[in-house]
Amino acid sequence: MHEEYAVYVDKVVKKYGTKEILQELCMKVERGIIYGLLGASGCGKTTLLSSIVGRKNIDGGEIWVMGGKPGEAGSGVPGPRVGYMPQDIALVGEFTVKDAIYYFGRIFEMEESLIDKRYQELHTLLELPPDERYLKNCSGGQQRRVSLAASLVHNPELLIMDEPTVGVDPVLRNRIWNHLVEITRQQNISVIITTHYIEECRQANKIGLMREGRLLAEESPSRLLTLFNSETLEDVFLTLSRRQEEGKLPAVSSLPIVDDQNNSVIVTDNTGSRTSVATVSTFEIGHGSTDILTKKKSLKTSNSLNKSRMKALLDKNWKQFYRNVTGIFFLMTFPIIQVGIFMSAVGGDIKNIPLGIVNDESMLVNCSNFSINGSAIPSTDEYGVCHFRNLSCRFLMHLDHPMIHKVYYDKLDEAKEDATHGKIVGVMYISSNFTDTSEMRIEKGKDAESEILDLSEIKVWMDMSNRQIGATLKYKLIDLYTNYQNEIFNDCGFVKGLGDLPVDINFFYGDNNEPYTVFMIPGSFITIMFFMGAMMTSQIIITDRHDGVWDRSIVAGVTSLEITITHMVLQASICIFQTLELLVVVYAIYQQEYVGSLWLMYLMIYLQGICGMSYGFWVSVISTDHSMANTVLTGIFLPMMMLSGLMWPTEGMPPFLRYFAKCLPFTMCIESLRNVSKKGWTIDNFQVFNGIGVGLLWTIFFGTLSVFLIKKKR
Ligand SMILES: Nc1ncnc2c1ncn2[C@@H]1O[C@H](COP(=O)(O)OP(=O)(O)OP(=O)(O)O)[C@@H](O)[C@H]1O
Summarize pLDDT for 452-484 with one digit per residue, the tens: 999 999 999 999 999 889 999 999 999 999 999
**Is 357:459 a contact under the CB 8 Å cutoff?**
no
- What is the predicted pLDDT for the residue at 1? 62
CA 137, 140, 141, 144: dihedral to nearest 10 degrees?
90
Ligand 1 atom with the smallest distance to the CA of 17 is: 4
CA distance 379 to 382: 8
Å from CA of 708 to ligand 1 middle: 25
Count other C-beta atoms under 10 Å from residue 336's C-beta.
15
**pLDDT of 33 above 60:** yes
Using left for φ > 0, alpha for ψ between -120 and 50, and beta otherwise, residue 66 falls in left
Of 294 and 366, the structure prediction assigns the larger pLDDT to 366
**pLDDT of 699 above 90:** yes
Summarize pLDDT for 527-572 with one digit per residue, the tens: 999 999 999 899 988 988 888 888 899 889 898 889 889 999 999 9
Residue 331 CA: distances (Å) to CA of 450, 532, 578, 668: 66, 8, 8, 26
Helix axes 655-663, 667-679, angle to 10 degrees: 80
Q: Is the CB of 87 under 6 A from ligand 1?
A: yes
**pLDDT of 284 above 60:** no
**Sequence letter at residue 652:** G
For residue 640, name the pLDDT band (cuts at 50, 70, 90): very high
Of 253 and 692, the structure prediction assigns the larger pLDDT to 692
CA distance 407 to 197: 84
Q: Is the CB of 695 under 6 A from ligand 1?
A: no
Q: Is the CB of 21 under 6 A from ligand 1?
A: yes
- What is the predicted pLDDT for the residue at 270? 43
Residue 244 CA: distances (Å) to CA of 9, 136, 239, 253, 626: 21, 43, 9, 15, 41
Backbone angles phi, psi at 115, to 5 degrees: -60, -45
* 335 Cβ neighbours under 8 A, 6+ residues apart: 528, 529, 532, 578, 581, 582, 585
Tell how many helices (H) and how many strands (E) occur in the chain: 22, 17
- What is the predicted pLDDT for the residue at 303? 58
Å from CA of 7 to ligand 1 middle: 21
Q: Average pLDDT in the 103-125 region? A: 93
Summarize pLDDT for 588-609 with one digit per residue, the tens: 999 998 999 999 999 999 999 9
Summarize pLDDT for 243-266 with one digit per residue, the tens: 877 776 665 554 444 434 344 444
Q: Is the CB of 648 under 6 A from ligand 1?
A: no
pTM: 0.79
CA distance 569 to 565: 6
Using alpha carbons only, give the angle 84, 88, 93 rounded to the nearest 5 degrees. Answer: 100
Question: Ligand 1: which of 22, 46, 545 to mutate, judged by most atoms within 8 Å of the beta carbon?
Answer: 46
Mean pLDDT of all residues in the chain?
86
Q: For the chain, give the number of residues.
A: 714
Q: Average pLDDT in the 285-311 region? A: 55
CA distance 648 to 520: 9
**pLDDT of 362 above 80:** no
Q: Is the CB of 50 under 6 A from ligand 1?
A: no
**pLDDT of 183 above 90:** no
CA distance 460 to 430: 9
Q: Is the CB of 46 under 6 A from ligand 1?
A: yes
CA distance 141 to 158: 23
Max Cα separation, the chain? Answer: 140
Question: Ligand 1: which of 13, 16, 196, 216 to mutate, judged by most atoms within 8 Å of the beta carbon?
Answer: 16
